[in-house]
Amino acid sequence: MANNQAATTYGHGKGIGATVGIALLGMGTVGAEVFRLINENANDFEQRIGGPVAVRGIAVSDTSKERPGVPAELLTTDAHALINRDDVDVVVEVIGGIDYPRELVLAALRAGKSVVTANKALVAAHADELAAAANAAGVDLFFEAAVAAAIPVVGMLRRSLAGDKIQRISGIVNGTTNFILDAMETTGASYEDALAEATRLGYAEADPTADVEGHDAASKAAILASLGFYTRVTFDDVHCEGISKITAEDIEAADRAGYSIKLLAICERLTAADGTESVNARVHPTLVPKDHPLASVNKSYNAIFVEAEAAGSLMFYGNGAGGNPTASAVLGDLVGASRNKVHGGRAPEDNTYAHLPIASFGEVETRYHIDMEVADRTGVLAAISNVFAEFGVSLRTVRQEDRGETARLIVVTHAARESVLADIVEHLSGLDDVHAVNSVIRLDN
Amino acid sequence: MANNQAATTYGHGKGIGATVGIALLGMGTVGAEVFRLINENANDFEQRIGGPVAVRGIAVSDTSKERPGVPAELLTTDAHALINRDDVDVVVEVIGGIDYPRELVLAALRAGKSVVTANKALVAAHADELAAAANAAGVDLFFEAAVAAAIPVVGMLRRSLAGDKIQRISGIVNGTTNFILDAMETTGASYEDALAEATRLGYAEADPTADVEGHDAASKAAILASLGFYTRVTFDDVHCEGISKITAEDIEAADRAGYSIKLLAICERLTAADGTESVNARVHPTLVPKDHPLASVNKSYNAIFVEAEAAGSLMFYGNGAGGNPTASAVLGDLVGASRNKVHGGRAPEDNTYAHLPIASFGEVETRYHIDMEVADRTGVLAAISNVFAEFGVSLRTVRQEDRGETARLIVVTHAARESVLADIVEHLSGLDDVHAVNSVIRLDN
């Protein structure tokens, strides 16, 4: 057998007209929208699926909480019992977190229920285990909502581009950090002030770590890379730098040079001189030319570029977060999983046949925007240029601003390896005339 | 039974490892790319499908033509015999035209072969007949490549947004006309000169009628509306105006007012005061504000906006034409159809359960940019304003340019019905002081 797919053909469905039983795990913003829309559009769901859907129960942590429009008899704290009901066919997980949802999703898959989840952290951390359980049971595991909410990038990679070869996936996949960076660029605010504003408006959570340190984007990068390169990439494989060190001065320097700073997730196929392929996934603040479409993605919007061999460049843009867009993605998956329960068949399963090695971050080549505080003295530029030359990295632009005793020197390099860049920064910092390397920000190629 | 879907569950597949036989109908630009990529990426296809694909034959009109890289023994002029071979499972139609491909696609579906086609004209004209044949046989009918090549809008409407309610689909879906309009805007060229340039560069065909008169875009609008609204919309239902009457003066006037002129396909759900819904699909030159993302879609690129109730606004952008992007879409469908042949199951079939009425073009509401030649005399503006007021249409802006004896008057209205606009233009033309209504161009809302 030439592949690692489940060694079964797919069975028959329940038959046209059969009711599909749904277990809803979680009743936060997304869960409430999912429940509301299932009821509001019941006839449409029935027509699109081939049979009606019925929510059999909703697992919550507190059944006594006021939930307008939700019949009390649907609520339960016993998620396992709900999942295992004979009349439940599809389980929708919108709880969040990792350990508890993992336990529930695995229980559901093992019980032969198809699963729809919006949980990027879970999928990015435990994809192999979840895929194995789904394959063993021959059921669907869907997670369109886990990446960029209603932007259907998961489905596109899984199906629409299944006949193509993906070279690169890059984009803005975290709305919170984009809101903060956009606010800093628009108003000149400091990082701290922009974060406070994002928190006040509900764009950032009380503990913003997962967003601002890039963890959320890294989970999404892992999922996108796994799908695009048919290779398992997990959260731990993703090099991750957040935006908490970006200063108003960085934003302003970028702006003057014609760039916006965006937190990008970048998944890349690397091809060595001998043709050997590997993949890399990373998240870091990135300078994007102001005339590039990504630069004009503002507020909490998301945008994803996909570069494929035959398709060329494709861009997808939309609302990357929020209850409604996330519910849209969950419900698209719910219709798909329910259709398969009625008609038989199964969606393309998780497939990591390519097993490409993960390239370390040091092997990645990119360009750099380096901002230094240097002594304002003859010969400084020569000394600095020498460091770059020693490491075989050529400079694209050099800009110097006098500041009395010292000068600010901003250097943009041609493409160089991350490992080389690290060495260069170390050497630059060791020069007497370099008082500080203020920031190193990468440029998107 | 509450729906119009095929009354069967889906059968078992051929089993993992089984070879999927392909019949390729047509060997033009797209067909040649499809064949090349099937061979080049054979291992990837096998891994993604669950079994190898083998091209059993290629139907062409002339087997003696030189075709580098294509084994002569695969070529045949007998398409029917090829389709009916026992070892053919999936038929790929990339011939073009309507009558002959229709005959072949129907023969394939009736023989139980799944079909992948890139033929927008065929699908837009005969969708009901094709869908009925596919449903009767329980096989797949895929046509992602028929709309905007590699931009996966068909799959998105069919699957990703299956749990949402689409309100509007609009966009640039014809590369030839976009190239011509972009050239006119960029260089100030006349329509005739820009068309000649497009022909010279291969963007326009020898007979450009289907593109420049909007027929190609109208086929795509029919397909998008059918998918988005679960209602059959055919080519004949689409109001269609092309770009052949757009003058350099129109482009220049639009430019000065802050607009680009784009040929848009617009599919809209209309809701009457009593809640009754209907749908409309249309293609016409449209003024797009220069800061709108559609305005910056240049050359032969395509972009499609989808507005859905829960998802909000989504935009998809990419290469809408050409051998490679079209092949990418065909191959994505080929992998999907082949997977189903191996594993069993079937993709969501054509589903027009909503059966919404088609609203006539007269019922559509939009804003208008009206360019008139008028007498340069006191009272002219009052007379013209009266006409609009009589029909209850208010004006948004009025701009007058003196030209000696006459003046040019450019009026932008608030939203009004097409039927009312037609009456207004008739009345305006009847005024003594209006020498000519030079152009009426719609504004995108």
Domain extent listing, chain A: 20-150+323-343, 154-318, 364-443
Inform me whether the C-beta atom of residue A160 falls under 8 Å from chain B C-beta atoms: yes
Mean pLDDT taken over chain A? 94
Identify the pLDDT of residue A8. Answer: 41
B155/A150 CB distance under 8 A: no
Give contacts of B317 with chain A, Cβ < 8 Å: 293, 314-317
B311/A334 CB distance under 8 A: no
Sequence-ordered alpha helix ranges (H) in B367-416: 380-390
- Could you give the C-alpha distances from B390 to B394, B419, B424, in angstroms and in order? 10, 14, 9
A165 is in an annotated binding site: no
Identify the pLDDT of residue B2. Answer: 36
Question: Hey, do B154-319 and B364-443 end up sharing a CATH topology, with the first three levels equal?
Answer: no
Q: Which residues pair with A255 in a beta bridge?
A: none
DSSP string, B255-278: HHTTEEEEEEEEEEEEE-TTS-EE
Give contacts of B45 with chain A, Cβ < 8 Å: 163
Contacts of A367 (CB under 8 A, 6+ apart): A396, A412, A413, A414, A415, A416, A442, A443, A445
Separation of alpha carbons B409 and A301, rounded Å: 40
Q: What is the CATH number of domain A154-318?
A: 3.30.360.10
Residues 95-124 of A with CB under 8 A from B: none
A310/B150 CB distance under 8 A: yes
Separation of alpha carbons B208 and B218, rounded Å: 15
Active-site entry in B65, B165, B220, B341: B220
Inform me whether the C-beta atom of residue B334 falls under 8 Å from chain A C-beta atoms: yes
B47/A151 CB distance under 8 A: no
Give contacts of A355 with chain B, Cβ < 8 Å: none
The total of other beta-carbon atoms located within 10 Å of residue B12's CB is 15
A1 is in an annotated binding site: no
Number of H helices, E strands in chain A: 14, 17
- Candidates 3.30.420.10, 3.40.50.2300, 3.30.1370.100, 3.40.50.720; CATH matching B20-150+323-343: 3.40.50.720
Give contacts of A134 with chain B, Cβ < 8 Å: none
- Candidates 3.40.50.300, 1.10.940.10, 2.30.30.700, 3.30.70.260; CATH matching A364-443: 3.30.70.260
* Token pair belonging to A168: 């690169």
Query: Closest to B345 (Cβ–Cβ): which among A48, A293, A345?
Result: A345
Taking alpha carbons only, the member of B74, B73, B59 closest to residue B27 is B59
Active-site entry in A65, A165, A220, A341: A220
Sequence-ordered alpha helix ranges (H) in B51-142: 79-83, 99-110, 120-137
Q: Which residues pair with B21 in a beta bridge?
A: B54
Identify the pLDDT of residue B11. Answer: 60
A127 is in an annotated binding site: no
Separation of alpha carbons B372 and B440, rounded Å: 9
Of A270-284, A389-403, B10-24, B130-144, least confident by mean pLDDT is: B10-24
Query: Closest to A163 (Cβ–Cβ): which among B47, B155, B335?
Result: B335
Helix (H/G/I), strand (E/B), else coil: B316 = strand
B324/A317 CB distance under 8 A: no
A15/B9 CB distance under 8 A: yes
Chain A to chain B Cβ contacts (< 8 Å): 262
Q: Which of B14, B19, B45, B314 to mutate to test the interface with A (most CBs of A within 10 A)?
A: B314
A30 is in an annotated binding site: yes
State the binding site of B for NADPH. 120
B15/A9 CB distance under 8 A: yes
Phi, then psi, of B220 in degrees rounded to 5:
-65, -40
DSSP state of A191: H
A5/B12 CB distance under 8 A: no
* Token pair belonging to B78: 């007998």
Phi, then psi, of A20 in degrees rounded to 5:
-100, 120
Separation of alpha carbons B320 and B301, rounded Å: 6
Which parts of chain B register pLDDT below 50?
Answer: 1-9
* Token pair belonging to B249: 């003066």
Taking alpha carbons only, the member of A118, A121, A284, A288 closest to residue A213 is A284
DSSP string, B18-59: PPEEEEEE--SHHHHHHHHHHHHTHHHHHHHHTS-EEEEEEE
Its sign, for the CA torsion B227, B228, B234, B235, is: negative
Q: Which of A34, A39, A158, A160 to mutate to test the interface with B (most CBs of B within 10 A)?
A: A160
Using CA coordinates, name the residue in chain A closest to B155. Answer: A160
Stretch A205-215: mean pLDDT? 96
Q: Exposed, middle or buried: residue A111 (CB in 10 Å: 0-12, 13-18, 19+)? A: middle
The total of other beta-carbon atoms located within 10 Å of residue B194's CB is 27
For the CA atoms of B295, B296, B302, B306, the dihedral, rounded to the nearest 10 degrees, stands at: -60
Please tell me the distance in Å from A330's CA to the nearest CA on chain B.
8
Give contacts of B12 with chain A, Cβ < 8 Å: 9-12
Inform me whether the C-beta atom of residue A348 falls under 8 Å from chain B C-beta atoms: yes
Is residue B123 within 8 Å of B217, Cβ to Cβ? no
Write the ipTM: 0.94
Identify the pLDDT of residue A135. Answer: 95
Separation of alpha carbons B237 and A97, rounded Å: 50
A343/B10 CB distance under 8 A: yes
Taking alpha carbons only, the member of A219, A220, A303 closest to residue A260 is A303
The side-by-side arrangement of strands in the sheet containing B90-93 is B75-76, B53-59, B20-25, B90-93, B114-117, B141-142
Inform me whether the C-beta atom of residue B167 falls under 8 Å from chain A C-beta atoms: no
Inform me whether the C-beta atom of residue B144 falls under 8 Å from chain A C-beta atoms: yes
The one-letter amino acid code at B326 reads T
Query: Closest to A332 (Cβ–Cβ): which among B162, B328, B346?
Result: B162
Identify the pLDDT of residue A11. Answer: 60
Helix (H/G/I), strand (E/B), else coil: A423 = helix
Taking alpha carbons only, the member of A296, A239, A142, A188 closest to residue A442 is A239
Q: In 3-state terms, chain B is what percent helix, strand and coil (to 5)?
A: 40, 25, 35
Identify the pLDDT of residue B13. Answer: 87
Question: Is A220 a catalytic site residue?
Answer: yes
A230/B47 CB distance under 8 A: yes
Separation of alpha carbons B306 and B315, rounded Å: 6
B312/A333 CB distance under 8 A: no
Q: How many CA atoms lie within 13 A of B365 on its CB side?
A: 9
Separation of alpha carbons B395 and B389, rounded Å: 9
A9/B16 CB distance under 8 A: yes
Residues 12-41 of A with CB under 8 A from B: 12-17, 33, 37, 41
Q: In 3-state terms, chain A is what percent helix, strand and coil (to 5)?
A: 40, 25, 35
Residue A10's pLDDT band, with cuts at 50, 70 and 90, is low
Separation of alpha carbons B138 and A213, rounded Å: 50
Helix (H/G/I), strand (E/B), else coil: B375 = strand
Q: What percent of chain A has pLDDT over 90?
A: 89
Whether A86 shows a pLDDT value over 70: the answer reads yes
Give contacts of B159 with chain A, Cβ < 8 Å: 152, 155, 159, 332, 336
Separation of alpha carbons A245 and A255, rounded Å: 17
Q: What is the pLDDT of residues A132-157, one digit of tens each?
A: 999 999 999 999 999 999 899 999 99
Is residue A134 within 8 Å of A361, Cβ to Cβ? no
Q: What is the CATH number of domain B154-319?
A: 3.30.360.10
Please tell me the distance in Å from B390's CA to the nearest CA on chain A.
41
Residue A237's pLDDT band, with cuts at 50, 70 and 90, is very high
Inform me whether the C-beta atom of residue A144 falls under 8 Å from chain B C-beta atoms: yes
B/e letters for A218-257, b = 16+ CB within 10 Å, e = fewer, are: bbbbbbbbbbbbbbbbbbebbbbbbbbebebebbebbeeb
Identify the pLDDT of residue B8. Answer: 41
